[in-house]
C-alpha cells in the first residue's frame, strides 16, 4: 500500500523546521549508501549526528505519533531517526531498493517494512524530483506539497528523477511495523477506516463494538512486538 499522509508539519512549525535544516551542514549522500546505492546515488545529506537534523527529526517523529492516519496505516513498532536529503543541479537517485536491516541509535537492529519521505519544498519550487515507486500495481510518481509524507513498502524498487531547477528538500526514514506483511497491514487499515466511518454515521451502533473486537483480535494474532 502506498499512502499519502497530509499535513504532518504545517505553518510555523514547518517553516521553522525547514529553515533549521536548510542552514545545516550538507555532505555527499554517497557517505551513507551501500555498495548498490553508491553507484546510482547523487545527492546531499545531513550527517546522522547533525544537531539540526536530530532536532527536526524528533519533531517529525513526535508529530507522526500523534497522527491517527499514520498510526493506523503504519502500525509502527520502531521508527528510525529521520534523515534529510536535497537534490539540485540535475542530481538524481537511480532505481534501488532500501536496505532491509538498519540499526537504531541504541544498537538494536530493526527490519525496514515501510519507507517514508516527508517533503519540505513545494512542488512548484523545483522541476523534476519525482519519487518513482514501482509496486505490484504498477509505477507511481509522487511529488507532494511541503509538510506531506508518502508512506510506501520498503520492498519497492524506487528512484528520484533528476532535479533540473530549484532544490528538492526532504526527510526520509524507515520503520518496522508491528505487522510485517503489507497485505495484512492494508486489510487492518481498511477495516479501521470502515469502522470509523460506521461509528461516525451511526454512533452507538453495536456492530462497531463487534468489528472493533475483530480488528483487535486480528492485530493480536498477527502483531510481532
Ligand atoms: Ni531509497
Mean pLDDT for back-to-back runs of 10 residues, the chain (225 residues): 97 98 95 78 94 98 98 98 97 95 95 98 98 92 98 97 98 98 97 97 94 98 97
Q: What is the pLDDT of residue 43?
A: 94
**How far, in Å, from the CA of 133 to the mean position of ligand 1?**
10
pTM of the model: 0.95
**How far, in Å, from the CA of 62 to the mean position of ligand 1?**
23
Give dist(CA 139, CA 127) in Å, integer: 20
8-30 in b/e form (b: 16+ CB < 10 A) is bbeeeebeebbebbeebebeebe
**How far, in Å, from the CA of 101 to the mean position of ligand 1?**
13
**How far, in Å, from the CA of 102 to the mean position of ligand 1?**
13
Q: What is the pLDDT of residue 33?
A: 75
Q: Which residues are 4's β-sheet partners? A: 150
Q: What is the three-class DSSP state of 81?
A: coil
**How far, in Å, from the CA of 221 to the mean position of ligand 1?**
31
**How far, in Å, from the CA of 97 to the mean position of ligand 1?**
6
**How far, in Å, from the CA of 105 to the mean position of ligand 1?**
20
**How far, in Å, from the CA of 24 to the mean position of ligand 1?**
22
Q: What is the pLDDT of residue 135?
A: 84
Q: What is the three-class DSSP state of 90?
A: coil
Q: What is the three-class DSSP state of 179?
A: coil
Give dist(CA 55, CA 59) in Å, integer: 6
Residue with cell 480488528: 215
- At 187, list the grid cell: 486489510
Question: Is 146 within 8 Å of 169 (Cβ atoms)?
Answer: no
**How far, in Å, from the CA of 220 to the mean position of ligand 1?**
31
Amino acid at each position: 500500500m502506498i499512502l499519502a499522509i497530509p499535513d504532518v508539519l504545517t505553518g510555523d512549525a514547518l517553516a521553522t523546521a525547514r529553515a533549521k535544516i536548510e542552514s545545516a551542514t550538507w555532505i555527499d549522500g554517497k557517505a551513507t549508501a551501500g555498495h548498490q546505492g553508491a553507484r546510482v546515488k547523487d545527492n546531499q545529506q545531513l550527517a546522522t549526528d547533525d544537531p539540526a537534523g536530530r532536532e527536526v527529526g524528533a519533531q517529525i517523529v513526535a508529530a507522526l505519533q500523534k497522527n491517527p492516519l499514520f498510526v493506523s496505516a503504519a502500525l509502527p513498532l520502531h521508527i528510525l531517526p529521520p534523515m534529510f536529503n536535497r537534490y539540485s543541479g540535475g542530481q538524481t537517485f537511480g532505481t534501488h531498493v532500501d536496505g532491509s536491516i538498519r540499526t537504531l541509535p541504541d544498537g538494536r537492529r530493526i527490519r525496514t517494512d515501510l519507507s517514508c519521505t516527508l517533503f519540505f519544498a513545494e512542488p512548484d519550487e523545483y522541476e523534476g524530483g519525482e519519487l518513482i515507486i514501482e509496486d505490484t500495481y504498477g509505477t507511481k510518481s509522487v511529488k507532494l506539497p511541503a509538510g506531506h509524507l508518502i508512506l510506501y513498502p520498503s520492498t519497492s524498487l524506487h528512484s528520484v528523477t533528476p532535479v533540473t531547477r530549484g532544490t528538492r528538500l526532504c526527510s526520509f526514514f524507515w520503520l518496522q511495523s508491528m505487522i510485517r506483511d503489507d497485505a495484512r497491514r492494508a486489510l487492518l487499515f481498511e477495516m479501521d477506516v470502515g469502522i470509523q466511518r460506521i461509528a461516525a454515521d451511526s454512533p452507538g451502533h453495536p456492530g462497531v463494538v463487534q468489528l472493533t473486537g475483530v480488528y483487535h483480535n486480528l492485530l493480536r494474532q498477527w502483531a510481532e512486538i
